[in-house]
Structure 1
């Protein structure tokens, strides 16, 4: 068997989704909910998927595409990123193509021909291209396995990133009623979810809402004064890491990048008014780790699949929670720890309000209400993660411990009675009054709106007259933030019972609130002397190798392997292809392409450390390799390591199979080799069982000799 054969060993047949996950992606198990989604799509049912950024949405339609006959058509608004997405699929051994306006007519015809011939499993296309008459003619010629609508929130006018061209996608279901549709998004509240399914014409869709909790992301809000010095301090804590700084204006992205460059940071800027070629080059430089810091407007980021973004800073407050959640979600996609920081000042709020007033959008009231929710998050005195999750109708029972509020707790009091009074008033008014009117009712106001609605007759009228209007407003904001109350944006902003309401009213759930005057102002933490994530020298060597290979392949480094895969590799220190297969994220195609280089790097690193006098860590075969390279015999190595000679011979055979420079033939004489090979021809060679051979030869040769000759027959 040649070295190449070891990296292309026969694999078990593919039957279950998990088999495809291991073969093409290198993972042993699905993330939560992924397999259920895959099976829903495979059953032919329309499926709506809400899964946070980095949660693994792509696998949910890519594996069904591999398992089903025909082509999966993926609708994506991200023309600039289609090439990267397709290249990543190619690296995993999956046939895919993209189809958009950047290609020549001949290129597009070639893609069409390959789809007709069944050579492509996934075809990425923009909604503008999809909806052309010529493309529909092409679609009628091929077998379509499913339609995958990525960034599906773009279809809804309730969403935070509405794209008018998405509104016509309902024609897919009209022309291809039997083809299942899977719609995927990272951020969508209740209104947007319902709108997506309705606008796409989905037929009784299965709805999967994964947890929006990203516990690996730390959350922090800092005052929006002296931002540049604070940013520099934060970046000094994160040397040689990639991150994004989101700014409100194009001008501020350019000036901030220039100031950071003056301080010696590898920074660049990105915004929609740049020359398209310059914008593409800048994005490419960031994806390839040539630029570490990207100062950008929100034009940058949607669909960015860069897994090793270690931090996201918001120079200005976003205009709604959906945008904020999606933007911080670009950090820590690999599951490792990542930091998010929001700079907040009331001036940002005033700027947004002025912008909205000038543009006067049709849904001005909705946008102002969402801006207010974002402001409440920034002003919050309770766990910030609980606030984020409650916005998406998810309950986090305990404070997260990974936000600035949890690390520096505010002084609280038992606000259960206040919560019950507010909820009682909401229920008794039919869940149809907005906040200001509800407060007037609680305070016993004789305003015209109260009297006209007959609200002075409800039982809770005047139940909260002991508190000032602003106090009630503050407490209701807190109750909204933690999920006791929610706002019905589509019902004129009426207040309704939230996800915790019934527990507060009927199950004795206690609610802690913060008095407005007790909330301390956030402060900047002291600069840490070490980075939060410590990575050893081997990781850095593997990262350098990854960058070299990525540049040779003309792809971003994370397409080769993610940071978490490199960390697992550095921890396990595999020495053979089979051992490398056990590293999370190493699929068969990548093993073939890069396995030898990474195994060589690991062995070289360990050998260097041992030669420097360090006791080797990691695989037992590496220890044997080091002693062999020092010139020791098999018996000497066995004595040194207190192992049998047969075990040491087995190590050397495995290392030779992996391609390392070990002359197995020199360890056994020609006469011994000939006699043992003749015995093997008679007795046979059952894997892992040498005793029949040992007995046949009458014990003339020990197990180390038998192992070496058996190994030679396999090399």
Structure 2
């Protein structure tokens, strides 16, 4: 399949869909090119970091294409999360897995056959089950999207055997484009994705793995709990995740945090599904601040306002570590990844990754653990190490990790690097780290003599340095991108293009001896105090107070609808609202993250909160402003502003309603938005005032809503009721019916 270009009308439709459904004016870097490739019918591989916007890459093509996009996803929680977010944006989506009953599944399959559905999420087991592939042949499938595609490779960190059977899609659907997406895939995993899915000349998009908003920190493993409590004490409102090695540690740490008054819960595979679901839901709903979990928690969790991730123990590989820290700062705002490290952790993890597994797998696990250990012990920029692991060169130190803030002593290591590179080259790049060091040090063991490496010109070129020094320096060269490890060739060191430049004398190398300096602790304490002072100063500002008010409103709405708060709006969107204070439809729609559907569902309630908070910020050149700006003050609008005391303004609205005016007429007369008027009427009705309910709901409609509530269990979340009634009634009507039914 040769790469072709999507037609211009489709690209225009894609940009319009981004604004309408997601509320954004422009695609993120690379998203537009990926969408163009998919719309052109190309098989596509997308490697993009967590939080980089992978989902939009297939969701937008699904919306603007005819037919149904089938999304293969590994976890029920991930499917539920994404489908809720899609529905909140006004996109028709559903999932089928073991949690869906037969009746509901039948409704979903009918919607897929009719073309009403745009995205259908399924597990790989469901996709490959008897009859489901045959069912899909009757559906107009626009795209297959394979999410978390690294699960297909045994070289990956999260191998799932059922993923290896997904190659059957090409057999049954030879002309349907397939897009494979992942946030964590090294060189071998990338190769497996392409070959096992039988992709036709795929277009490969490798986004930068850099997450510059995440502050990378490694700390000694002493007094971990004390350090955790100190950190949370300085970030009392920030949500975070603590990853632990064992279930018992999860429970113990969570209990210790609870004893200190922190809203914390634990999560591990030893809990029942209901227990795990309850804890996860509480975290997503912002009812828990901290989750203490094993790695069983988190894949695909789209909570955008996680501000920090801690690793109580050393992860077993860099891929897992990278994916887990990627759950922090998905909204692009500053976040912290804190790793506690001790050599005892290495020993425990080494035993864990080699126990009861085949020798080949044990060797691979050990090699990847050693790379993780090198990261923890690194003496150079940690972000560059992460990026080099994924074959990316940042080109400069990041300035946002503990090493950059406390640079170790460096020396010119060009000659040492050239010795190591030359020794590797003279072995035809066939030797692993330990054997390379033996050659450099002039050792006469069996491995050296058997292959004649004692005859090489570089044999003994580094005999003046002890083994541990060479071990450190070679690992620094790995971290700096001079070598990479070819796991499939006996873990041989291979020289990169950057390494060739060093070998030829075209590029100097600095090597570092890491040592803990007292100034680092002093700097850390100073930065902590500065951050705390800044937070204290900022927390009392009008903008910060409005942001907190909007967060409370979001939480209230989310609880009513039974969805996570970030599904309503992300923290980033609320921060922009607090900063810009939009008080009209067009102004609100100009806020990033406010699409048409979200404005219709939530926008007016947030406008009301902004108006009640205080007068909007002054708009320059108001006489030239479009309709998205507030009009210039007049005596009449000034009187209205004075009238915005909450109780009196609700009373005024209610009296106009009793006079027979509709919400639209009241809104026009009072200079309010319709959503504000509806909120006033709803609160008046809840207080017991005599609302003319027949203006909004007939007796038969109330009865229909009552029957639906009974089917769902009496007092369902509004979101569930809204979906169950196929969006026939809006939330205002559903809430009025609820009040009516409570009154009897």
**Fold agreement, TM-score > 0.5:** yes
Tell me, yes or no, if the aligned pair for 2:608 and 2:676 is still in contact at 8 Å. Answer: no
Q: 1:209 to 1:169 in 2, by over 3 A?
A: same
Question: Using the alignment, how far apart are the partners of 2:588 and 2:224 within structure 1?
Answer: 45
Alpha carbons of structure 1 residues 632 and 159: separation in structure 2 relative to 1, 3 Å = closer
- Kindly report which structure 2 residues correspond to 1:163-562, keeping only aligned pairs within 5 A, or say none: 163-362=160-359, 363-506=361-504, 508-515=506-513, 523=521, 525-526=524-525, 527-528=528-529, 529-530=532-533, 534=538, 536-562=544-570
CA contact (8 A) 2:148 2:182 kept: yes
Q: Does 1:71 align with 2:52?
A: no
User: Structure 1 residues 136, 412: CA separation in 2 closer, same or farther (over 3 Å shift)?
Assistant: same
SS in 2 for 1:364: helix
Partner Cα distance (1:406, 1:247) in 2: 27
8 Å contact kept, 1:311–1:331: yes
The structure with the larger Rg is 1
Give TM-score scaled by structure 1 length: 0.84
Using the TM superposition, give the Cα deviation of residue 466 of structure 1 relative to its aligned residue in structure 2, in angstroms: 2.0
**Is this contact kept in 2: 1:91–1:559, CA < 8 A?**
yes
CA distance 1:661–1:510, shift in 2 (3 Å): same
SS of the residue corresponding to residue 192 of structure 1 reads: helix
Q: How does 1:653-664 map to 2 (within 5 A)?
A: 656=671, 658=673
Distance 1:83 1:523 in 2: 44
Larger RCO (CA within 8 A; separation ≥ 6): 1
SS in 2 for 1:359: coil
- Shift of the 628–230 alpha-carbon distance from structure 1 to 2, 3 Å rule, reads farther
Between stretches 463-472 and 505-514, larger displacement belongs to 505-514
Contact 1:238-1:531 within 8 A present in 2 as well: no
- Report the counterpart of residue 592 of structure 1 in structure 2: 600
Match of 1:139 in 2: 136
Alpha-carbon deviation of 1:333?
0.2
Deviations 1:181-215 (A, max 9, x none): 10111101000000111111111111111000000
CA, structure 1 residues 79+661, in 2 after alignment: closer, same or farther (shift >3 Å)? closer
In structure 1, the residue matched to 2:109 is 112
> Contact (CA 8 Å) 2:419, 2:458: kept in 1 or not?
yes
- Flag the 1:167–1:626 CA change in 2: closer, same or farther, 3 A: farther
2:613 aligned to which of 575, 581, 605: 605
Q: Structure 2-normalised TM-score?
A: 0.81
Residue deviations 1:317-376 (CA, integer Å, cap 9, x gap): 100000000000000000000011000011111111222343234510000000000001
Deviation of 1:491 (Å): 0.6
- 1:713 paired residue number: none
Residue by residue over 1:524-572, the C-alpha shift from the partner in whole angstroms, topping out at 9 and shown as x without a partner, is: 9335334769561111111111111111111000001101011111111
1:396 shift after superposition: 1.2
Q: Residues 615-667 of structure 1: CA distance to partner in whole angstroms, max 9, x if unpaired?
A: x556865584597554499xxxxxxxxxxxxxxxxxx99993745999xxxxx
| Alpha-carbon distance change, 427 to 582 in structure 1, aligned in 2, over 3 angstroms | same
Does residue 1:91 correspond to 2:88, yes or no? yes
- Cα deviation for residue 148 of structure 1 reads 0.4
Does structure 2 conserve the Cα–Cα contact (< 8 Å) formed by 1:14 and 1:20?
Answer: no
Question: Does 2:575 correspond to 1:567?
Answer: yes
Distance 1:110 1:287 in 2: 28
Q: State the secondary structure of the residue aligned to 2:355.
A: helix
How far apart are the structure 2 equivalents of 1:125 and 1:530?
48
Of 90, 96, 100, 2:97 maps to 100
Aligned equivalents of 1:429, 1:130: Cα separation in 2 = 48
Question: Is contact 1:242–1:308 with CA below 8 Å preserved after alignment?
Answer: yes
Deviation at 1:448, TM superposition (A): 2.8
Aligned length: 626
Q: Is the 8 A contact 1:486 1:496 kept in 2?
A: yes
Measure, in 1, the Cα distance between the counterparts of 2:670 and 2:330: 35
Q: Unaligned 5+ residue runs, structure 1?
A: 1-11, 611-615, 634-651, 663-715
Is residue 471–residue 516 contact of structure 1 (8 Å, CA) maintained in 2? no
Asked if structure 1 preserves the Cα contact closer than 8 Å seen for 2:239 and 2:289, the reply is yes
Per-residue Cα deviation, 1:58-83 (whole angstroms, up to 9, x for no partner): 00000111121111000001113322
Residue 474 of structure 1, CA deviation: 0.8
> C-alpha separation between the residues in 2 aligned to 1:286 and 1:127?
27
CA separation in 1, counterparts of 2:515 and 2:452?
34
Aligned-partner SS, 1:500: helix
Deviations 1:571-611 (A, max 9, x none): 1111211111111111110011111111111121123xx9x
Aligned CA RMSD, in angstroms, stands at 2.4
**Cross-structure match for 1:709:** none
Question: What displacement does 1:137 show?
Answer: 2.2
1:444 offset after TM fit, Å? Answer: 2.5
Change (3 A) 1:330 1:499: farther
Structure 2: unaligned runs, 5 residues or longer:
1-8, 623-628, 642-666, 678-744
Tell me the CA shift for residue 485 of structure 1.
1.2
In structure 2, what is the Cα distance between the partners aligned to 1:159 and 1:586? Answer: 37
